[in-house]
Amino acid sequence: MNSIKQISTVTLIGSGNVATALGLSLLDNGIKITEIFSPNMSNAKALADKTNCGYVNNIGDLITTSDLYIIAVPDKAISNIISKLKNIDGIIVHTSGSQSIDVFDNSNFNYAVFYPLQTFTKGKLVGFKDVPICIESPNKATSDLLIQLANKISTKVVTLNSIQRQYLHLTAVTVSNFTNLLYTLSNELLDEKGIDFSLLHPLIKETASKLNEVNPSEAQTGPAKRNDTQTINKHLEILQNYPEFKEIYKLLSDQITKKYHG
């Protein structure tokens, strides 16, 4: 293990949404991206072009002298990537919310987790300043170096262990992916009825931004919160030809009613 004072050079393993967002943000903040690895040659080239570096699609060809290697690949590919990395002194991190740090157990690397808590979509650039970055490492010096690096791109850097990160990831899925399904079902229904989905945008934004001022359980409103069975039943009737939507409407209304009215 080398004993660097700060991380200056980074290799990106992966070329998807997370690798791209991280790479561009690090570059913007004075970090040199040394190389991109991706099995997908055209994705690798696209990201390499954006970050002014070279790319390889054979992991054995990677430059071995970077300060940091960021693994940003699908969860199930992480352990395979780790097993193929050789002769690397730099820090190696994965960026997954749900993978434990134990995935590095059989390696001799200087390793850590560097988890940016955000939803990254192609074609939508996310600024990193507000993105929480969650760090975990068994090595204090490594953790300090990563915190120092993370502070360059984000104002919200925390250390969390693997168990805590798992809970955070589970709730991130809940407030983001599941919420987005609710948006999608609503969008599809309104489209079909010729009603402009963007009428809901201010409500969606207000529902999210309320959380700055009140606790979500205090912010709960709506028919189920009021135990207004008449409206709920009317909505269930409207949804009779939309069985998936109806099932979600019923379960969530039932749970709200139960929570606030026993």
Residue 73 CB, nearest distance to a second copy (Å)?
12
Instruction: Write down the least CB distance from residue 60 to a second copy, Å.
Output: 27
DSSP 121: B
Eight-state DSSP code of residue 124? B
Find the shortest distance in angstroms from Cβ 165 to a second copy: 9
Location of structure tokens 């934004």: 205
Name the residue nearer to a second copy (CB basis): 87 or 215.
215
CB of 82 to a second copy, least distance (A): 16
Task: Identify which of residues 61 and 206 has a Cβ nearer to a second copy in the complex.
Answer: 206
Q: Which CB atom, from 1 or from 195, has the smaller least distance to a second copy?
A: 195
- The DSSP H or E segment spanning 116 is strand 110-116
CB 4 to a second copy: min, Å: 29
CB of 148 or CB of 171, closer to a second copy: 171
**Angle at the Cα of 38 from the Cα atoms of 144 and 26, rounded to 5 degrees:** 35
Closest CA to 260 of 231, 208, 219, 230: 219
In the chain, the largest separation of any two C-alpha atoms, in whole Å, equals: 68
Nearer to a second copy, 16 or 54 (CB): 16
Q: Which residues have a Cβ under 8 Å from the Cβ of 17 and sit 6 or more positions away?
A: 120, 121, 122
